[in-house]
Each structure stands twice: as C-alpha cells, then as structure tokens.
Amino acid sequence: SQQGEEDPQALSIQEGENATMNCSYKTSINNLQWYRQNSGRGLVHLILIRSNEREKHSGRLRVTLDTSKKSSSLLITASRAADTASYFCATDLTSGYSTLTFGKGTMLLVSP
C-alpha cells in the first residue's frame, strides 16, 4: 500500500488565506519531501525535512514533521491564485533520495 496519504483530497480557499495539508505515513523514514504539480506538468520539489527535524521554513512554506505520529503538514501562508496546484508528500526510506513513495496528493484551489 502507499506510504503517504494526504488529506484533505481537495482544498478550496480564497487568496490571502492559509492552506494546510497533511500527510500520514506508515513506516520509518529517512526524510519526507513535498512536491507541487501544476495540472498536466511534472513535479517541482518544494522542501525536504529530515527525520531528525521537526520544522522547516522556506519562504511562505512551513513544514512540520512528527515522527511519533508519522505525520507531516505543509502550510502555505498568504496563499495566491498562482499556488493553485496539486501537492504531494513523498517519503524517502533512505538517505539516497532513490526510494520515494508518493501519496495521492491534495488538490489546492486558490480563488482570487
């Protein structure tokens, strides 16, 4: 079965609001990564958080990781219409970045 499961499956918000997406996984990991996918396009790497880290920031993105609960969250602050995309978490079992397992993703719609 898939390692990562995101929720919600879909999220619709207004510009300026914050968007929070969650990811749960089942086994021990080396790191967890979040990706963005615009419709019909490839994936863009957003942020990586290692298993010994609890929180990480990158611009308007904030990622948390709770290894005891096997869960992670991605927060996008002050969202923009251009943030509309699908967001996937991917768990990596090793440090070599070769064993990614993706969740089903959260489809985010940000309305102007």
Partner 1 sequence: GAVVSQHPSRVICKSGTSVKIECRSLDFQATTMFWYRQFPKQSLMLMATSNEGSKATYEQGVEKDKFLINHASLTLSTLTVTSAHPEDSSFYICSAKRPNQPQHFGDGTRLSIL
Which residues in this chain contact partner 1 in the complex, by CB under 8 A? 2, 4, 33, 35, 40-45, 48, 88, 95-98, 100-105, 107
Give the alpha-carbon dihedral of 13, 16, 18, 21, to 10 degrees. 50
Phi, psi of 75 (to 5 degrees): -110, 125
Dist CA 31 CA 67 (whole Å): 10
In angstroms, give the least distance from the CB of 78 to partner 1. Answer: 26
In angstroms, give the least distance from the CB of 16 to partner 1. Answer: 27
Of 37 and 77, which has the nearer Cβ to partner 1? Answer: 37
Is residue 50 within 8 Å of residue 28, measured between CB atoms?
A: no
Of 14 and 58, which has the nearer Cβ to partner 1? Answer: 58
Of 82 and 112, which has the nearer Cβ to partner 1? Answer: 82
∠ CA 36-42-76, nearest 5°, is 10
In angstroms, give the least distance from the CB of 89 to partner 1. Answer: 10
